[in-house]
Structure 1
């Protein structure tokens, strides 16, 4: 992944000595990053995560309707699973996109226990391989933590990436605004909250980027999934749906929005614009 740290400038001997003798001065000179204070979802919202099986049932019931969506152009799509999940959990989503004419690919790295050694390097190699095989950019879809991978890969490989769509991904705010941070630390053996890393993750990729989220998410604070407007980086948007965190990749509303975004031509990209009765099911806020 691309690092946000710049090479240190050469210092004279007096300057080095001054720095070594006053570590608090050097620490104060490091880039600062102010974290929004978002609370984690409460116990009631966590209980609502039990509706995920019903969302899958709703997907099955909505299949005839979803089959009427515009056909895809066959471009490759990689789907990254969430924390503690594997490719089995993204199979319904991938099957749905395959049915629309896309060529979807799982991430093929087993359970996602975080960006351990070699994980992101393999993700990058997969994107490059698909780009070379198809001679066209790859769309990156990430569920929860998988969305962090998708966003970071797009920053590293913007010429290889067609678009990014995330589902309930916490890319802003503090990781402790989720109910999964302890599990993340347990699986990775590292503490969450590095300011430099969080500042990097918060940056929006330079390609069309969509965040699909739910205010009733019981794992991730919905505020952590809202892209703030940046006039220097267009082609970014937020789509709010009614869903659980565990059901976002199965929810027919989320999949409808995802399919709509994948049909967008990056050169003629337009934000999601629900019309008529669709306004009852989707919200497109621009900021928190």
Structure 2
């Protein structure tokens, strides 16, 4: 993303970008993950464990992505019984005024479709940073936030996409509020936050995407009054929107009751999935 930390301090330590080999493998891994996801949805029945009617979920795409690139993710969630919404803002070209303002307007539109029901925010990559920021902007209206491969930490700003962010800022502009947005999204949230990330991510360094002090941590962290969780999955970066394990973890977290939050475990998640299938 934007290398604000390095701009402020050229000597600032960071995780750096993932190895080139992982980046090159992205193109070969994503089709396999997509196909596996489609097959899984055909074989396994949906959870459909949503009580009180379909709960609203707003899905935010990654940098230079748009709604069609999250269609597999949204289709999967719709099959699980959620009222799923795309962001409707076209290509995500970064922190322009149009996107900063348009995202809040879009959130308000989605919230209005289910009065009184808080909205779950699911953000892929840079979309996860925007999801965190939106949760700060609309306190009391967000149920939870789930980030998929989102390098929100200052140490994780340098990714394989950083130069693309720089070029996009020149071409599309950069809001005067951009640094304030980044500063705000890094503050602790007051709603449950789950970070799903991969050690084999070829775009963003996995350590920059974690929310806890240690991999797999669960519970309040960094001053957050709400649960924060790290869930690692074997996935490419692009594949996080279709990888079957990433979607299984997402399903399990979205089904949680924020008032009775249960720590994530693969054993429990797969056991619940098996009971649904039975």
TM-score (norm 1): 0.78
2:152 is the counterpart of 1:160: no
Partner Cα distance (1:49, 1:199) in 2: 30
Structure 1, gaps ≥5 residues long: 1-30, 280-288
- Mapping of residues 169-180 of structure 1, within 5 Å: 169-174=150-155, 176-180=157-161
2:81 is the counterpart of 1:104: no
2:101 is the counterpart of 1:124: no
Structure 2, gaps ≥5 residues long: 1-7, 213-220, 272-278
How many residues get paired? 246
Cα contact 1:82–1:112 (8 A) shared by 2 = yes
1:213 — aligned with what? Answer: 197
Partner Cα distance (1:39, 1:205) in 2: 26
- Aligned-residue offset at 1:212: 0.3
CA spacing shift, 1:36–1:240, aligned 2, 3 Å: farther
2:179 is the counterpart of 1:187: no
1:138 — aligned with what? Answer: 119
2:238 — aligned with what? Answer: 246
- Mapping of residues 40-119 of structure 1, within 5 Å: 40-50=17-27, 51-73=29-51, 74-119=54-99
CA spacing shift, 1:278–1:137, aligned 2, 3 Å: closer
- Aligned-residue offset at 1:62: 1.4
Moved more, 255-264 or 200-209: 200-209
CA spacing shift, 1:101–1:197, aligned 2, 3 Å: closer
CA spacing shift, 1:90–1:236, aligned 2, 3 Å: same
- Aligned-residue offset at 1:122: 1.6
- Aligned-residue offset at 1:270: 1.9
Partner Cα distance (2:269, 2:193) in 1: 25
Cα contact 1:140–1:161 (8 A) shared by 2 = yes
Partner Cα distance (2:253, 2:67) in 1: 22
CA spacing shift, 1:143–1:232, aligned 2, 3 Å: closer
SS at match of 2:40: helix
1:12 — aligned with what? Answer: none
Partner Cα distance (1:78, 1:195) in 2: 24
CA spacing shift, 1:35–1:233, aligned 2, 3 Å: farther
Partner Cα distance (2:87, 2:224) in 1: 31
Structure number with greater Rg is 1
1:269 — aligned with what? Answer: 261
Cα contact 2:123–2:146 (8 A) shared by 1 = yes
SS at match of 2:191: coil
2:185 — aligned with what? Answer: 201
